[in-house]
Amino acid sequence: NAGVTQTPKFRILKIGQSMTLQCTQDMNHNYMYWYRQDPGMGLKLIYYSVGAGITDKGEVPNGYNVSRSTTEDFPLRLELAAPSQTSVYFCASSYPSPGQGTFYEQYFGPGTRLTVT
């Protein structure tokens, strides 16, 4: 199992450019997530998906879009990049928790370091 893979590893964008960060998981997880981590800060949830065709906003969705056409893939789109989007982006996936005291951890990809200048 490759787990969660992300491409590219690094990217420099100019202000106003667009790009798509790719994320793929091979663990057949229903749930997928996008986080950003700013220097010295914890991870913040951008968007999440509970299954193919279903996505929802997290804490910091502005300036981003997502889609989920398959179980495996969850790309994150940046439109009109801004310096405030300079960050490290992590994709994660997990099984849904059945509740009743049983919860499943999230598995993280290696991250994409994005700089917008």
Partner 1 sequence: EDKVVQSPLSLVVHEGDTVTLNCSYEVTNFRSLLWYKQEKKAPTFLFMLTSSGIEKKSGRLSSILDKKELSSILNITATQTGDSAIYLCAVMKGNTGFQKLVFGTGTRLLVSP
Write out the residues near partner 1 by the rule CB under 8 A: 4, 31, 40-45, 48, 50, 58, 90, 94, 96-99, 101, 103-111
Cα separation of 4 and 57, whole Å?
21
CB of 89 to partner 1, least distance (A): 11
CB of 99 to partner 1, least distance (A): 3
CB of 49 to partner 1, least distance (A): 10
CB nearer to partner 1: give 14 or 105: 105
Query: What's the angle, vertex CA 27, arms to CA 92 and CA 67, rounded to 5?
Result: 50
